[in-house]
Amino acid sequence: MSERPAIVLLSGGLDSSTVLAIARAQGFRPAALTFRYGQRHAVEIEAARRVAAAQGVADHRIADIDLRVFGGSALTADIAVPKGRAEAEMADGHIPVTYVPARNTIMLSFALAFAEVIDAADIFVGVNAVDYSGYPDCRPDYIQAFETMANLATKAAVEGRRLTLHTPLIDLTKADIIRRGLELGVDYAITSTCYDPDPQGRACGQCDSCRLRLKGFADAGLSDPAPYV
Interface residue with a second copy among 82, 121, 132, 142 (CB under 8 A) is: 142
Is 109 marked as binding a ligand? Answer: no
41 to 161, 195, 215, 216: CA distances (angstroms):
37, 6, 21, 21
Is 78 marked as binding a ligand? Answer: no
Find the shortest distance in angstroms from Cβ 142 to a second copy. Answer: 4
Q: Report 44-73 residues binding a second copy (CB under 8 A).
A: 61-67, 69-72
Interface residue with a second copy among 24, 103, 211, 213 (CB under 8 A) is: 103
Nearer to a second copy, 15 or 116 (CB): 116
Amino acid at 21: A
Interface residue with a second copy among 105, 183, 225, 229 (CB under 8 A) is: 105
- Residue 69 per-residue DSSP state: G
Give the C-alpha separation, 126 to 194, whole Å.
16
Interface residue with a second copy among 25, 42, 79, 113 (CB under 8 A) is: 113
Residue 218 interacts with a second copy (CB under 8 A): yes or no: no
Burial label for 173, CB within 10 Å (0-12, 13-18, 19+), is middle
Strand-pairing partners, residue 4, are: 28
Backbone angles phi, psi at 33, to 5 degrees: -130, 125
Interface residue with a second copy among 16, 17, 55, 104 (CB under 8 A) is: 104
Give the C-alpha separation, 93 to 1, whole Å.
44
Find the shortest distance in angstroms from Cβ 227 to a second copy. Answer: 30
Task: Check: CB of residue 177 under 8 Å from CB of residue 22.
Answer: no
Interface residue with a second copy among 25, 79, 145, 218 (CB under 8 A) is: 145
Quote the Cα angle for 123-46-198, to 5°: 125
Which residues would be at the binding site for a second copy (CB under 8 A)? 61-67, 69-72, 95, 99-106, 108-110, 112-114, 116-117, 136-137, 139, 141-142, 145-146, 148-150, 152-155, 157-158
